[in-house]
Amino acid sequence: MRRAILDKNDRLAERNRGYFRARGLLVLNFLSSPGSGKTTFIREAVKTLQPEFKTGVIVGDLATDNDAQRLRESGAPVVQITTGTVCHLEAEMVGRAVKQLDLNGLDLLVIENVGNLVCPASYDLGEDLRIVLLSVTEGEDKPLKYPPMFQSADVVIISKIDLAQACNYDRETALANIRRVAPKARVLETSAKTGQGMDAWREFVAQQHQERKARDPLCP
């Protein structure tokens, strides 16, 4: 049963992927625990990328449109998916939500998944990159304790780095644990509050967008 659901999701994710590629979009799927700072990071990240990179946002939550409202402060168009009791986004939900966005002129599509470090790992949405946030407040062992999520990460963003000292954050251990589970993942250390690491973030996205255009020269 679970297998069949995942198989169906994988097919719809590939359809999304094809659709996104034809539209020349670089698509980022953001995942983390509740409270790791996804919404704040995305809001600041989108501000940093504008106006060069025009971004649309899809955000999933069980309830409330708090995040959608906060994300609109970035100036980007935002579509909310309310999942009710469903603990993750699925490709089908994203396929429906994207129809509510005007994709003309968009360079980037950012998807903020439901806050959950387990279930969303199993659901491909058709993204180009999976970006997993780990805040310094959560403890350095999370990559080891939630391996499916971290194994699937293309990028790990260490967030709230401004709180490192207050939390006795052990940087070496955290980085070693990430490398153990996700040896190929790019790691960025950031604070959306102080702006630390946001230049590196911008550079990273610009490079990915460049590579996407080079790989698929038909895209605008």
Structural contact between residues 14 and 126, judged by C-beta atoms closer than 8 angstroms = yes
Burial of 115-140, coded b for 16+ CB within 10 Å and e otherwise, reads bbbebbbbbbbbbbbbbbbbbbbbeb
Task: Return the SS3 of 105.
Answer: coil
Asked if 209 touches its own copies (CB under 8 A), the answer is no
Told to check if 85 binds its own copies by CB under 8 A, we report: yes
Report the nearest approach of its own copies to the CB of residue 211 (Å).
32
Handedness of CA 45, 18, 123, 72 (dihedral sign): positive
Contacts of 145 (CB under 8 A, 6+ apart): none
Report which of 197, 198, 138 is spatially closest to residue 169, judged by C-alpha positions: 138
Contact set for its own copies, span 120-179 (CB under 8 A): 122, 135, 137-139, 141-142, 144-148, 160, 163, 166-167
Beta bridge partners of 169: none
Question: What is the total count of residues that contact its own copies (CB under 8 A)?
Answer: 35
CB of 44 to its own copies, least distance (A): 15
Stretch that binds its own copies, among 17-25, 41-49, 109-117, 201-209 (CB under 8 A): 109-117
Q: Tell me the window of 48-56, 91-99, 116-124, 201-209 that interacts with its own copies (CB under 8 A).
A: 116-124
- Residue 142 vs 209, nearer CB to its own copies: 142
- Six token digits for residue 20: 């996104």
Site for its own copies in 11-70 (CB under 8 A): 33-36, 61-64, 66-67
Binding site for its own copies (CB under 8 A): 1, 33-36, 61-64, 66-67, 85, 87, 114-119, 122, 135, 137-139, 141-142, 144-148, 160, 163, 166-167
